[in-house]
Structure 1
Amino acid sequence: MNAHPETPERRAALSQRLRVATGLDEVTLEAFQRAFYGAARQDPLLCAAFAGVADWDAHIVRLTQLWSSVALMTGTYHGQPMQAHAHLGLGTAHFARWMALFEETAVHRDHPDVPRGLADLLTRIEWELREHMQKEEQGLFPMLRVGHGPPMAIALMRDEHDDHGAHLRELAAITHAHEPPEDACNSWRALYAGTAQFAEDLTQHIHLENNVPFPRFGA
């Protein structure tokens, strides 16, 4: 017989003692999850494992509940994480990379030059670009191919290009113009090399559309 039965009050008291002892809380855990999974989604080896996640905000909430239950004994997570990931076919190399990236994120979390907000910005850019490309490929471009360039639709695409440009300026500000600090690890440097290439590619895309097909239709 358990001399100290589990009660909500005892669990809450234990969680509070762990918060004090570790310095962790749900806000800190969520920030770490966003930083770690933001990096993992950009990692060449790990990114495919996240292709099936449709709602990242909801996923981060779930992950925070998991780590809150593990680290702080809050009991807020209910599920079978191993079973949920069994179909992904992750092997030893994935696990080793996962742990290395996890450690790097923990080490750099308090670095003064850490790109805070980068994961959220990249997620927002990805969503808006997907919507933008869908409008072009399914709506505007078929009309342009048959010689019809609706001014309103082209004006809308130009406005969205301006929005993309604003996002690129925000990206440059967060990453210090894609320049990692001198003590950055290889993953950090690779991440910024990737954001720099992405910014260059998107800038060329915007310039090409604004200056080649759109002017042909007087827009």
Structure 2
Amino acid sequence: MTRTLTELSTTERESVVQTVHQEAEASGWSHLSNSRKSALYSAWESQFNLSHATLKDGIMKGFDAAQGIPKKAEAEIQEEVTRIFRLAGIHAIEQAQMWTGKERADLLIGYSAKFPTHVIEIERADSWSEGLRQALWYQAAIFKADRRHVMPVLILFGNTSAERFEQILATCDHNHVTLSTHRLEIDGQIEAEHSLGALLNGRALG
């Protein structure tokens, strides 16, 4: 059974965070391929007996801040996506806290804070598999905590190729995850068919 940060002593938690951040910096984290990042995550999961979500959301989301890097594009995209949902009259909760206390989903939407229907992960296209994994993890976490089914949604931004996007779409379909986009460029062109606007105006989530 993997642990969360709340289960660690203050001393151990600080040691784990420091070690992970140092190893990430030494590896040139921002320039690593997605597969190499996944390999490092797997190594840390085994070394510290921590869940992937704990490492990604509880530790690595603080890595850029620790390096003095300004606000990431993901945060800006998240603000825009949240605003779009709210303007559409949909209840949205940003950085929704899971029952463990540390992991946070990018966004929950639904009828109310007590009645979420979808869990949303917002991710750069070049790290889409991380977002997919997170969306599925949070779906399972919410069911485990509240016995409530929510639909997982992955919203991609950034840029990718048409061939890669088809692969991503097929993988999401296989895992029953709704794929959407916001300001995603495919071969230099803005993707529109699966955009958040098309999703809200043309067909229902889920």
Indicate the TM-score class for this superposition, using the shorter chain for normalisation: under 0.3
> Would you tell me which structure has more strand in proportion to its own residues?
2
> Would you tell me which structure has more helix in proportion to its own residues?
1
**RCO comparison, higher one (Cα < 8 Å, 6+):** 1
Scaled by the length of structure 2, what TM-score is found?
0.24
| Higher CA-based Rg | 1
